[in-house]
């Protein structure tokens, strides 16, 4: 089981266990992680689950789809090369941890 580590804007971190096949957004909602609003419920339609994937984990996930990339163009926080929508990232099963940084604002 992979532990998703959410690094929050206040400097704290929250670790939540992921079940196989879950998205980072589902794990965040399950763990009541502050800053992941997930208003559309994972439909890639709102960009309120924007996260920054920690550099060491970027290569473990497929690149953003065109649809996700278009949604990322409208995020409230700065878009970075490691910006992703948590609803579009399936947590890798083959690692012990997977880390993301939660931006200060989602909208």
Q: Can you tell me the distance from the alpha carbon of 92 to that of 97, in angstroms, rounded to the nearest whole number?
A: 9
What tokens appear for 93 in the block?
Answer: 């099963």
Architecture field, domain 2-101: Roll (3.10)
The pLDDT of residue 84: 98
pLDDT tens track for 13-50: 999 999 999 999 999 999 999 999 999 999 999 999 99
Q: In what order do the strands lie in the sheet with 2-7?
A: 13-18, 2-7, 97-101, 50-53, 83-85
Strand 97-101 to 50-53 pairing: antiparallel
Instruction: Work out the pLDDT band at 107, boundaries 50, 70, 90.
Output: low
**What is the residue-averaged pLDDT of the chain?**
96
How far apart CA 93 and CA 107 sit, in angstroms, is 31
């Amino acid at each position: 089981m992979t532990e998703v580590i959410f690094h929050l804007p206040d400097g704290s971190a929250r670790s939540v266990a992921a079940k196989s096949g879950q998205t980072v957004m589902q794990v965040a909602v399950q763990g009541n992680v502050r800053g992941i609003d997930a208003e559309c419920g994972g439909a890639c339609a709102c960009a309120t689950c924007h996260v920054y994937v920690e550099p060491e984990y970027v290569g473990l996930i497929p690149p953003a789809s065109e649809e996700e990339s278009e949604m990322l163009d409208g995020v409230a926080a700065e878009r970075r090369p490691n910006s992703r929508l948590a609803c579009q990232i399936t947590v890798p099963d083959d690692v012990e941890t997977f880390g993301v940084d939660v931006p200060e604002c989602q909208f």
